[in-house]
Amino acid sequence: MLDQSQGYTTEDGRKIGGVVMEMRNITLRFGGVEAIKDISFDIREGEIRAIIGPNGAGKSSMLNVISGFYVPQEGQVFYKGAPRPAMKPYQVAQQGIARTFQNIALFEGMSVLDNVMTGRLTKMKTGLFSQALWLGKSEKEETENREVAEKIIDFLEIQAIRKTPVSRLPYGLKKRVELARALAAEPSLLLLDEPMAGMNVEEKEDMSRFILDVNDEFGTTIALIEHDMGVVMDLSDRVVVMDYGKKIGDGTPDEVRGNQAVIDAYLGVAHD
């Protein structure tokens, strides 16, 4: 049972906390196109929250509103209880929000370790100049950053490729490196943009396991968007379903699976 202030306990006994982010009556337009139409939902501390829907439903637009990249024309985003103003990407990172991208955005020529280290940039307190000169405080910071990066590399089981240039990796591993880089920022809210897109069955299973492990081990709240309904159902605590910019379902995977509007949307039943 969902208690609005206290959260809830999942079927597998995990405690889900209060609301971390609330989307209240969000409408987002691109010229004449309404990509998001008056949608409200929340994301709770410690939960894995999925946003799913067919092509063009508005999922990416919604993830970009959550991440602060798009500011909706109507409605308000609340983060940790306060209305969130328009923010620059580095301010979003400083608020403890990190994300991955649908089209992998790694530095192809750099090693896995160096890519993961770039995820630490927002944490660095000393300037690049002292970093370059390897001076006192920055040396300590560099060591700390490296320790976090190595810990995450171990956690995601990519030790064997830590010195390999990203350009040489298969697609599934690149996606895992992107996850590692996002985790390097030690986010409290992790946003995943179609983390399983383009993967084979085995890679999808691996990615699902890592997402669950991240949530379990670090207590990270995770919001993800996904086109494929099947893969997120086992993974998610609650699911928002979008279609043509509207919210057509919101609930546990079982509730959503039994929702006729959701079934129709996925079967491509005609709209009014």
Ligand X SMILES: Nc1ncnc2c1ncn2[C@@H]1O[C@H](COP(=O)(O)OP(=O)(O)OP(=O)(O)O)[C@@H](O)[C@H]1O
- What is the full DSSP assignment across 49-83? EEEE-STTSSHHHHHHHHTTSS--SEEEEEETTEE
Could you give the residue ranges of the DSSP H alpha helices within the chain?
59-66, 89-94, 112-118, 128-133, 136-155, 171-184, 201-218, 229-233, 253-257, 260-267
Question: Is residue 59 a contact point for ligand X (CB under 6 A)?
Answer: yes
Question: Is residue 72 a contact point for ligand X (CB under 6 A)?
Answer: no
d(CA 7, CA 225): 22
Among 7, 18, 56, 172, binds ligand X (CB under 6 A): 56
Strand arrangement, sheet containing 48-52: 97-99, 189-193, 221-226, 48-52, 238-243, 246-251
For ligand X, give the closer residue by CB, 61 or 145: 61
List binders of ligand X among 211-250 (CB under 6 A): 227
For ligand X, give the closer residue by CB, 102 or 164: 102
Among 43, 57, 148, 241, binds ligand X (CB under 6 A): 57
Residue 96 CB, nearest distance to ligand X (Å)?
Answer: 24
For ligand X, give the closer residue by CB, 62 or 183: 62
d(CA 26, CA 224): 18
Residue 208 CB, nearest distance to ligand X (Å)?
Answer: 19
Residue 261 one-letter amino acid: A
For ligand X, give the closer residue by CB, 10 or 259: 259
- Which of these segments, 16-24, 57-65, 84-92, 130-138, binds ligand X (CB under 6 A)? 57-65
Q: Are 224 and 48 in contact (CB under 8 A)?
A: yes
Q: Give 251's strand partners.
A: 239
For ligand X, give the closer residue by CB, 194 or 206: 194
The CA-based angle 219-249-255, given to 5 degrees, is 70
Residue 51 CB, nearest distance to ligand X (Å)?
Answer: 9
Q: Give 165's strand partners.
A: 111
Question: Is residue 30 a contact point for ligand X (CB under 6 A)?
Answer: yes
Among 20, 43, 50, 58, binds ligand X (CB under 6 A): 58
For ligand X, give the closer residue by CB, 17 or 54: 54
d(CA 74, CA 26): 6
What is the contact surface with ligand X in residues (CB under 6 A)?
A: 30, 33, 35, 53, 55-61, 227
